[in-house]
Amino acid sequence: MFNLSVRDHFMIAHSFRGEVFGPARNLHGATYVVDIEFERPELDPDGLVVDIELARTSLKRVLDSLNYKNLDDVDEFKGINTTTERLAQIIFSRMAEEILEGALGQEAKGLTSMTVKLNESHVAWASYESKL
């Protein structure tokens, strides 16, 4: 099994609802350093898992849709806690759409699974992984 990963980041504000969150119920924020991993059983004819430049461009487009925002004000996220693990899943879904729409090239259809990891500090990170 082959994997390729690229890294980028975004910075948002948000707050959480629920006793479990303690002081994180206040409006605060985070830098998320994002590692996205693409997986496939065989390389494409160029010897690649995916075109790395297209993958970077797609990831940047997806992160730009979140970057420099207060997630509490985003309609789509009303009523959900935008925890690190949930954001990983949201980014996964948007990247999966990018693949389906061909933004990562025709060969990206050979990708079989993907993992999105969000590093929120030097001591905590979360990820969402699924088949494609």
Query: At closest approach, how far in Å is the CB of 102 from a second copy?
Result: 14
Query: At closest approach, how far in Å is the CB of 59 from a second copy?
Result: 10
Q: How many CB atoms lie within 10 A of CB 92?
A: 20
Backbone dihedral region of 115: left (phi > 0), alpha (psi from -120 to 50 degrees) or beta? beta
Is 96 or 120 the residue whose CB approaches a second copy more closely?
120
Is 3 or 100 the residue whose CB approaches a second copy more closely?
3
Is the CB of residue 10 less than 8 Å from the CB of residue 67? yes
Q: Is the C-alpha dihedral spanning 67, 70, 74, 79 positive or negative?
A: positive
Is 13 or 103 the residue whose CB approaches a second copy more closely?
13
Query: At closest approach, how far in Å is the CB of 103 from a second copy?
Result: 14
Q: Which residues bind a second copy (CB under 8 A)?
A: 1-9, 11-14, 16, 18, 20-24, 26-33, 43, 46-49, 51-53, 67-70, 80-86, 88-89, 105, 117, 120-130
Give every CB contact of residue 101 below 8 A, 6+ residues apart in sequence. Answer: none
Query: At closest approach, how far in Å is the CB of 58 from a second copy?
Result: 14
Bridge partners for 28 per DSSP? 14
